[in-house]
Homo-oligomer: A and B are copies of this chain.
Amino acid sequence: MPKPQKHVFVCTQNRAEGHPRGSCAQKGCAEVMNEFMNQIQANNLFDKIGLTNTGCMGPCMLGASVLVYPEGVMYGQVKKEDVKTIIDEHLLGDQPVERLIVPAEVW
């Protein structure tokens, strides 16, 4: 991809059922990742938004975790339904979605 204006990293870490940390996979990260991809494709945002899946970024208890650079804004408990809001308000509108940002002690 070309260097994007905003780069979205979606944790897609999986862990075995019963693992004490849980994982973003158990919290629906695949749906979140797919929704970002679908929205980026449907609106032809490839030149503005980069999208990359990642391993664990740390705040497993608040998954699904979504990190946006260059700002370094970490979103937690992201659901499929939040993706359009993140795209419209933050990635295109440059206003981070405050209600989804993880607490400062987490990130």
Q: Which A residues have a C-beta under 8 Å from some C-beta of B?
A: 1-3, 7, 9, 12, 50, 52-58, 69-72, 74, 107
Contacts and interface: CB of A to CB of B under 8 A. Distances in A.
A56 B50 CA distance: 11
Report copies per complex.
2
Nearest to A1: B58
B70 A72 contact: yes
A34 B31 CA distance: 30
A62 to B, nearest CB: 13
A91 to B, nearest CB: 15
Nearest to A4: B72
Chain B CB within 10 Å, residue with most, of A50, A52, A56:
A52
Contact of A55 (B3, B54, B56, B70): B54
28 contacts: A1-B57, A1-B58, A1-B107, A2-B107, A3-B72, A3-B74, A3-B107, A7-B69, A7-B72, A9-B9, A9-B52, A9-B54, A12-B55, A50-B57, A52-B54, A52-B55, A52-B56, A52-B57, A53-B54, A53-B55, A54-B54, A54-B55, A69-B69, A69-B70, A69-B72, A70-B70, A70-B71, A70-B72
